[in-house]
Amino acid sequence: MRANRIERKLQELRARGEGALLGFLMAGDPDLPRSVEYARALLRGGVDLLELGVPFSDPIADGPAIRGAGARALQAGTTPERVFELVTVLRRDAGGGGIPLVLRTHYGPVLALGERNFCRRCAEAEVDGLIVPDLPVEEAGPLLEQAERYRLDVVFAATPETDEERLRTLAARSRGFLRLLLPSGGAEGKGEERWGAFVRRVRARVPNELPLLASEISQPAQMEAAVRAGADGAEALRAFAERIAEGAPPEALRELAARLKAAARARGSATPPRGPRP
pLDDT higher at 185 or 257: 257
- pLDDT of the residue at 193: 73
Residue 92 lies in a domain: yes
Residue 273 lies in a domain: no
- pLDDT of the residue at 264: 94
Q: Is the pLDDT of residue 47 over 70?
A: yes
Q: Which of 97, 92, 128, 125 is nearest to 5 (CA)?
A: 128
- pLDDT of the residue at 190: 53
- pLDDT of the residue at 216: 85
Identified catalytic residue from 48, 62, 153, 216: 62
Contact 41, 254 (CB under 8 A): yes
51 assigned to active site: yes
Rounded CA separation 163/180 (Å) = 13
Q: Is the pLDDT of residue 271 over 80?
A: no
Rounded CA separation 111/241 (Å) = 26
62 assigned to active site: yes
Backbone phi, psi, residue 220, to 5°: -55, -40
Residue 274 lies in a domain: no
pLDDT higher at 144 or 60: 144
Task: Please report, for the domain that includes residue 141, its CATH number.
Answer: 3.20.20.70
- pLDDT (tens digit per residue) in 223-247: 998 898 889 999 999 999 999 999 9
Residue 270 lies in a domain: no
Domain total in the chain: 1
Q: Which of 85, 154, 88 is nearest to 115 (CA)?
A: 154
Q: Is the pLDDT of residue 20 over 60?
A: yes
Residue 278 lies in a domain: no
101-123 average pLDDT score: 97
Could you tell me the residue range of the domain that residue 186 belongs to?
A: 5-264
Local confidence band at 140 (pLDDT 50, 70, 90 cut-offs):
very high
240's enclosing H/E stretch is helix 239-245
Residue 272 lies in a domain: no
Residue 138 lies in a domain: yes
Identified catalytic residue from 7, 18, 29, 51: 51
Rounded CA separation 126/103 (Å) = 11
